[in-house]
Amino acid sequence: MGAQAMTEGATGRATPAAARGRRGPSRAAGRSRARAVAALVGRRLLFAVPVLVLVSGAVFALGALSPFDPVKQYYGVQIFNASREDVERVRAELGVDDPVIVQFGRWAGGLLTGDPGNSRSFRQPVADVVGERLPWTLLLVGVALVVAVLLALLLGVAAAWRQGGWLDRVVTAVGHALEGVPPFVLALGAIAVFALGLGWLPVAGLSDAGAEASAGQVARHLVLPALVLGISQSPWLVLHVRQSLLAALAEDHVTGARARGLAERVVVLRHALPTALLPFVALVGARVPELVTGAVLVEEVFSWPGVASAVVKAALAVDFPLLAALTLLATVAVLLGSLLADVASALLDPRVATDG
């Protein structure tokens, strides 16, 4: 974007004819660029297929190899009272004795037709569990991501602006320290201080006990989890913005802008920051796995009714269909995140190659 700003500046000063002449081919280039980005999307979606097949195969193999027995789970303690015929019938119904590959085919076929089985821990079809809980997770993760990005932009720019100043030292030190603080410690601390100590915000859940989940209720209950998740994600982003802004400030076009006598604010915000933010877009996309991980822990502590806390419930109950479906969902989220980041940086920066 910095490069774009500079070429725009150059065309502005050039003769109108030259500018017109330059605009024609640039539109054509834009069209071919769009085609290249579309090809990139297609290629990446194609690459996602073997990844998803491999992940689902691996998760299924883990389940098939484990000592865990679905029939025993189906019966629980009652297996001691069940007759041999009944157990045999359930074994046949669940298809436990079929070859692993047949079981995998059945399960994968169900996934493809939109029926990933039933969740035992929620006593609901897996699709319903995901459908009910996914919006809450998206809300939480979306707000947390906005918090993290805003923090990164504000603190990162402020720290790089006066490198070595007190703000820079504080931000860098706190950032490095926060990298070592697990999100659940942060969450417990936030609950102890803001919910129990000061009584400003509710401890957990989506709404007060017995109250409807109205917009106001949800907003009040969203504040703490979203802030905790956002802050726990922010150190990497803050330090990255600071580092890449420092690198951008040493570049030639920034020196050029300074030599032209532009105000410091213009130099930093209009010339250095856009170049510094390009890798930032890719970084945000690449941090989806950590975001998912953080969401699991934060949702669990705050009893947020999202898919991430369902992971923990499913794991504690060895609810394989739900666990496998949620793992695949998270993998899709990771792949989508990196795809979106790549598309965004390809659209923002014409220098980014689209054949990677």
Partner 1 sequence: MADLVTSSTEDSSVPSAGGPTAPAAWRSAARRRAGTPRASIGSGRAARLRWIVGAATLAALAVGAVLLPWLGGLDERVLDYAAVRRPPGPDHLFGTDETGRDLLLLAFAGLRVSLLVAVLCAVVSTMLGAVVGAVSGAVGGWTDRLLMRLVDTVNAVPHLLLGIVIVALYRGSLTAVVASIALTHWTTVARIVRSEVLSLRQRPYIDAAISGGASRWRVVRRHLLPAVVPQAAISAVLLLPHAVWHETALSFLGLGLPPHMASIGNILGDGRDAVLLGAWWIVVLPSVLLIVATLAVSGVAATWRDRLVPRRRSELAL
Can you tell me which of 12, 16, 25, 50 binds partner 1, judged by CB under 8 A? 50
Q: What are the beta bridge partners of residue 124? A: 119
State in angstroms the smallest separation of the CB of 319 from partner 1: 9
Can you tell me which of 140, 145, 160, 226 binds partner 1, judged by CB under 8 A? 160
Can you tell me which of 145, 314, 325, 343 binds partner 1, judged by CB under 8 A? 314
Phi, psi at residue 160, to the nearest 5°? -70, -30
C-alpha to C-alpha distance for 356 and 86, rounded to whole angstroms: 57
Binding letters toward partner 1, positions 216-245, x by CB under 8 A: -----------------------------x
Can you tell me which of 28, 196, 215, 259 binds partner 1, judged by CB under 8 A? 196
Give the chain's largest Cα–Cα span.
93
Structure tokens that stand for 268 in this block: 């930093």
DSSP 8-state assignment for residue 118? E
Confirm or reject binding of residue 278 to partner 1 (CB under 8 A).
no
Confirm or reject binding of residue 290 to partner 1 (CB under 8 A).
yes
Can you tell me which of 147, 330, 343, 346 binds partner 1, judged by CB under 8 A? 330
Confirm or reject binding of residue 165 to partner 1 (CB under 8 A).
yes
By CB neighbour count within 10 A (0-12 exposed, 13-18 middle, 19+ buried), where does 149 fall?
middle
Alpha carbons within 13 angstroms on the beta-carbon side of residue 165 total 11
For helices 288-301 and 183-190, the axis angle rounded to 10 degrees is 40
Coil, helix or strand for 161? Answer: helix
Q: Which helix (H) or strand (E) holds 75?
A: helix 70-75
Confirm or reject binding of residue 350 to partner 1 (CB under 8 A).
no
Question: Which residue has 């689902």 as its token pair?
Answer: 56
Confirm or reject binding of residue 170 to partner 1 (CB under 8 A).
no
Q: Is 238 or 292 the residue whose CB approaches partner 1 more closely?
A: 292
Confirm or reject binding of residue 293 to partner 1 (CB under 8 A).
yes
Q: Is 220 or 258 the residue whose CB approaches partner 1 more closely?
A: 258
Can you tell me which of 16, 24, 76, 180 binds partner 1, judged by CB under 8 A? 180
Q: Is 2 or 63 the residue whose CB approaches partner 1 more closely?
A: 63
Confirm or reject binding of residue 318 to partner 1 (CB under 8 A).
yes
Question: Do residues 134 and 128 lie in contact, with contact meaning Cβ atoms separated by under 8 Å?
Answer: no
Question: Which residue has 């890719």 as its token pair?
Answer: 282
State in angstroms the smallest separation of the CB of 283 from partner 1: 13
Confirm or reject binding of residue 111 to partner 1 (CB under 8 A).
no
Question: Which residue has 């070595």 as its token pair?
Answer: 164
Question: Do residues 42 and 34 lie in contact, with contact meaning Cβ atoms separated by under 8 Å?
Answer: no
State in angstroms the smallest separation of the CB of 40 from partner 1: 16
Confirm or reject binding of residue 167 to partner 1 (CB under 8 A).
no
Stretch that binds partner 1, among 84-92, 108-116, 322-330, 348-356 (CB under 8 A): 322-330
C-alpha to C-alpha distance for 65 and 102, rounded to whole angstroms: 15
Torsion, Cα of 232, 238, 243, 245 (10° steps)? 160
Can you tell me which of 107, 136, 161, 304 binds partner 1, judged by CB under 8 A? 161
C-alpha to C-alpha distance for 293 and 72, rounded to whole angstroms: 31
Residues that bind partner 1 (CB under 8 A): 50-51, 54-55, 59, 62-63, 66-68, 160-165, 169, 176-177, 179-182, 184-185, 188-189, 191-192, 196, 203, 245-246, 249-250, 258, 264, 267-268, 272, 288-290, 292-293, 296-297, 300-301, 311-312, 314-316, 318, 320, 323-324, 326-327, 330-331, 334-335
